[in-house]
Amino acid sequence: MKAATFEFLRQRFSSYYGNARLIPPPSVPQREWAFIFFEPDAADTHMRRHLGFETRDEVFSYIRSMVPAHAYYSTAYYSRPGAPTMGEKGWLGADLIFDLDADHLMRGPYDRMLERVREETEKLLEMLTGELGFSQKDVEVVFSGGRGYHVHVRDPAVRDFGSSERREIIDYVCGIGLDPGRVLSHRTHSPRGWHHRYIDALAEYLLWLESLEEKERVATLTALEGVGKTTAEEFIRRVPSILSLLESAPADLSLRDPVISRVIRGLSSDREGRFLALLRDRAALADEPVTTDTKRLIRMPSSLHGGSGFRVTPLAPGELPGFDPLVDAVVFSDREVAVEVAFPLTMPILGSVYRLEKGYARVPEALAVFLCCRGAAEIAGGSRA
């Protein structure tokens, strides 16, 4: 990063922090704090952590004077958060955190990635409040400022959960470890849950299987572990009756029948197969290690993301459907700034789409900050006609 770009970003971030209403997490004195700063020509990223503050004003004063590129706090509560080692901090519990990142879901244009990860976050919120019993008042959604969302659950009932209990929750929302026999035999009057998701996915798979030519059907099933040609042919013959059962009485679909059992268990163990892909489409694909980690650092809502310049934006769950990060998380102006673009790119921001070629360009300040943070542009020197 050139000196002019470094100075531009630091000035813009300083201006924001000097005027913004900052939002601290609950229990500031029990949180560890960490920061990454703008460092021109630094080969490696250095984090300054193991910091503790007694009050929110101390946190705000530090941020405004130091102007970090990234600001984090611990999801855990500690008796001595500023202690230099994790063992000395005195763990008291932790919020339940979910991290949904578009990088784990798809590759493509930035705006499409943001749309996709919002859909995944909406699925997660429905599971948390509609199936796992968390109250919306204990759930906060935060746009990360980058390519995803964080979901914070601050229900005191889960604060003391260890990694194993958190693993059970993330396995549920991600649909990991589903046992076909138990899922199919589960009788419930609820329209929600994995019983219904599994049935819907299996029905969709069977309808797809029926659409294939006879040889393709047999080849598809015999590719499954434990399924031979005779089993495949018999299962295909029964597909219409199985579909009827899935619609009217799925709990009567017995996996004690060897033909049905071999195929369904084969489908459920085929990691790269179509059926598990259909199940994943019905899951909420959060980042598992983040949820199981009881000592995680997370971005501070209302801070800026040093990789985009966007605001790390807190939302109530009901605000998510109408939230547009490329408008609502943008804090900088539309005044023109001259930049040298590193490569051709297209970027939507503040309701307009900018198509830039490599080289000199004049763009809105908000886009200039984004491009410079991303390493896709430098501040242009001198004047141009």
Strands (E), 82-147: 91-94, 96-101, 139-143
Whole-number pLDDT of residue 203: 95
Parallel, antiparallel or unpaired: strands 148-153 and 91-94: unpaired
Looking at the predicted structure, is the pLDDT value of residue 186 above 80?
no
Q: Give 190's pLDDT tier (boundaries 50, 70, 90).
A: low
Going from N- to C-terminal start, the domains of the chain cover: 3-174+287-327, 180-282, 336-379
Q: Is 281 a catalytic residue?
A: no
Per-residue pLDDT, 1: 81
Q: pLDDT tier at 252 (50, 70, 90 boundaries)?
A: confident
Indicate the burial class of 237 (C-beta count within 10 angstroms; 0-12, 13-18, 19 or more): exposed
CATH of domain 3-174+287-327: 3.90.920.10
What is the per-residue burial (b if ≥16 Cβ within 10 Å, else e) of 54-73? eeeebbbeebeeebbbbbbb
Let me know if 200 is a catalytic residue: no
Six-digit token pair at 173? 């929302």
| Fold held by 336-379 | Ribosomal Protein L9; domain 1 (3.40.5)
Structure tokens at 244: 């009827």
Residue ranges with strand state E in the chain: 33-37, 47-51, 68-74, 76-78, 91-94, 96-101, 139-143, 148-153, 297-299, 313-315, 336-341, 345-349, 352-356, 359-364, 377-379
382 pLDDT higher than 60: no
pLDDT at 385: 38
- What are the backbone dihedrals phi and psi of residue 173, each rounded to the nearest 5 degrees, phi first? -70, -30
Write down the catalytic residue from 41, 44, 95, 101: 101
99 noted as active-site residue? yes
Average pLDDT over residues 279-295: 95
- 112-169: pLDDT as tens digits: 999 999 999 999 999 999 999 999 999 999 999 999 999 999 999 999 999 999 999 9
Question: How does pLDDT run across 311-338, given as a tens digit for each residue?
Answer: 999 999 999 999 999 999 999 999 999 9
Helix, strand, coil percent values for the chain (each to nearest 5): 45, 20, 35
Q: Which pLDDT score is estimated for 236?
A: 96
Concatenated DSSP letters of 7-60: HHHHHHHHHHHHHS---PPS-GGG--EEEEE--TT-SS--EEEEE--SSHHHHH
Q: Give the active site residue among 41, 44, 95, 99.
A: 99
As a whole number of angstroms, the distance between CA 265 and CA 29 comes to: 51
Residue 52: pLDDT band (50, 70, 90) is very high
Look at residue 278 and tell me whether its pLDDT is greater than 60: yes
Residue 288's pLDDT band (boundaries 50, 70, 90)?
Answer: very high
Q: Convert the pLDDT of each residue in 30-45 to its tens digit.
A: 999 999 998 776 556 7
Answer for the pair 26, 154: CB distance below 8 angstroms, yes or no.
yes
342, 375 contact by CB (below 8 A): yes
> How many CA atoms, within 13 angstroms, populate the side-chain half-sphere of residue 328?
15
